[in-house]
Amino acid sequence: MAESVRFYPLEGLPEIGPGAPLGDLLDQAISDAGFSLQEGDVLVVAQKVVSKAEGRILRLDEVTPSPFACALAQQMGRDPRLVEAVLRNCVRIVRCEPEAFIVETPHGFVCANAGIDRSNVAEEGSVLLLPIDPDASADGIRHKLEEHYGCPLAVIVSDTFGRPWRWGSANLAIGVSGIEPLTDLRGKTDASGRTLTATVLATADEIAAGAELCMGKADRIPAVLVRGATYVRGEGRATTMIMDRAHDLFR
Amino acid sequence: MAESVRFYPLEGLPEIGPGAPLGDLLDQAISDAGFSLQEGDVLVVAQKVVSKAEGRILRLDEVTPSPFACALAQQMGRDPRLVEAVLRNCVRIVRCEPEAFIVETPHGFVCANAGIDRSNVAEEGSVLLLPIDPDASADGIRHKLEEHYGCPLAVIVSDTFGRPWRWGSANLAIGVSGIEPLTDLRGKTDASGRTLTATVLATADEIAAGAELCMGKADRIPAVLVRGATYVRGEGRATTMIMDRAHDLFR
């Protein structure tokens, strides 16, 4: 029987506040759950806990919306302070409609509301911003875990984004460490011997998507251990998954 | 410890030809692999074997490209017969560029080349079309497996599509049976007691994405057994995941 891929939800992480030593706390939660990490294991960590630990919290009552933000907010029927927060965390507006406010973040992600999240923040009236450098966040966690276990590991920071053409959000990788997020199969042959011409798999996104099956949205499962997944090890960056504007037909 | 989600690759399926009894063959492969299906198990089946079993094979030398197909093919630098095949299997052209020929299929999927695939087809010069009704394909396999095991199961027919904004393809659900493809969490509360306002998860797509970690592109793993995933049972259709044009900002 070929090896299976297993996703284990990690419970028992305490509530995370600004400055919390997230790597240590994840390390502890892994031990408490009875796991010992093995070479090739991947830890998927929800963006929310990363942003909380990094203090990426914004109090909306400290945000003064600009006239531009107020005008957009009126057009979309939204809180002008939230629109201002999105504008301060984006480099370009992609769509600005009542249904969705889709922007490009400084990282290059195209997503609704610059990834800003109102749910799952302890303080009422606060929102959570994306980490400034999610790849660096993943690096920090990975190095802590590799220090403990002494073997090559990978970490993915994940977030749940909507997508064009289809209803529903899917989890994907916004930060990676220890993994090449794309698996390039071009030049390899298929089962019939034909050369695969245009096959690059979004492996890190697929690992993140699978992990969400353990996370749930309403549950306190901010991390998932993935064992048995095949991926290319390396010092990949999630930003290499971002399609540049010149190639992107939908931006 | 919370329950894990496990993905088991199913090997041992023979080469599938037109008219092959796919449900029976999958049933046999599951038994041969030593599995006995349990209530709630999901079988993810790659579109390729479904299309092959349903005879959705087109010989390119039997395709006469129209003048319109020839003009588009020249513009994109492609085989005019393949362009003609795409045009015959789409209802609308979404983008038509040298980089990508993106159309809307009769099902409503927005994807490159109408999902037509040149790799993994036994006969040189042939291409594989999407199943006419992938939900019905999933139904057929599910009923065969439920008949054998006598418990509720789910089946997902998956295909690998590119997406805007990001490099790499990801596996997603083009047909489902026994599962509601979207999990609607709106109205539920998060860990802080705040009501989740806009959270609909694309659960079937996330199961399909996780399954691809076992499939590989170059390997002969056309089916994956998924055990332990939480999903809403029902008579959902993959077409309910398709965003209608009125709501879609990117079509």
Question: Tell me, what CATH number does A122's domain have?
Answer: 3.90.1660.10
β-pairing, A42-46 vs A154-163, is parallel
Instruction: Assess contact for A211 and A44: CB atoms under 8 A.
Output: yes
Please give the C-alpha separations between residue B100 and each of A74, B73, B217, in angstroms, as whole numbers: 37, 11, 20
Considering the domain architecture, whether residues A154 and A199 belong to the same structural domain is answered as yes
Which of A60, A120, A206 would best serve as a mutation to test chain B binding (most B beta carbons within 10 A)?
A: A206
What total of structural domains would you count in chain A? 2
**C-alpha–C-alpha distance, residues A193 and B7, integer Å:** 27
Distance CA B140, CA B132 (A): 13
B165 reaches A (C-beta below 8 A)? yes
In terms of CA atoms, which chain A residue is nearest residue B239? A166
- Give the 3-state secondary structure of residue B96: strand
What would the 3-class secondary structure string for A24-64 be?
A: HHHHHHHHHCCCCCCCCCEEEEEHHHHHHHCCCEEEHHHCC
Q: Do A105 and A158 share a structural domain?
A: no
User: How far, rounded to the nearest angstrom, does the alpha carbon of residue B61 sit from its chain's CA centroid?
Assistant: 27
CA distance, residue B10 to nearest chain A CA (Å): 8
Query: Do B13 and B67 belong to one domain?
Result: no
Which residues from chain A sit within 8 angstroms of residue B109, using beta carbons?
Answer: 165
Same domain, A84 and A116: yes
Q: Which residue has the higher pLDDT, A145 or B165?
A: A145
Mean pLDDT of chain A: 91
Q: A105 lies in a domain?
A: yes
B54 touches B137 (CB < 8 A)? yes
Same domain, B157 and B176: yes
| Domain boundary pick from B100, B127, B154 | B127
Which A positions 74-133 lie with beta carbon below 8 A of chain B?
A: 95, 97, 99-100, 102, 109-110, 118-122, 124
CA R_g for chain B: 19
Contact between chains at A250 and B249 (C-beta distance less than 8 A):
no
Q: Which residues contact A216 (CB under 8 A, 6 or more apart)?
A: B230
Q: Which residues pair with B9 in a beta bridge?
A: B224
Q: For residue A213, give the CATH number of its domain.
A: 3.30.1330.100
Given a contact cutoff of 8 angstroms between Cβ atoms, the answer to whether A230 and B216 are in contact is yes
Kind and range of the H or E run holding A76: helix A67-76
pLDDT mean over B66-86: 95
Chain A contacts of B122, Cβ < 8 Å? 192
**A82-135 confidence digits (pLDDT tens):** 999 999 999 999 999 888 899 999 999 999 999 998 765 666 789 999 999 999
Instruction: Please check whether residues B123 and B140 belong to one and the same domain.
Output: no
Which pLDDT does position A167 carry in this prediction? 93
Partner B contacted by A169 (CB < 8 A): yes
Query: pLDDT per residue over A162-177, tens digit each?
Result: 998 999 999 999 999 9
Indicate whether B246 belongs to any domain. no
Q: How many CB pairs under 8 A join A and B?
A: 250
Domain match, A42 and A164 both: yes
Structural domain range at position A116: 58-127
Domain-located, residue A104: yes
Q: Is the ipTM of this complex over 0.90?
A: yes
Contact B205/A170, CB-based, under 8 Å? yes
User: Do residues B22 and B101 both lie within one domain?
Assistant: no
Closest-CA distance, A135 to chain B, in angstroms, reads 16
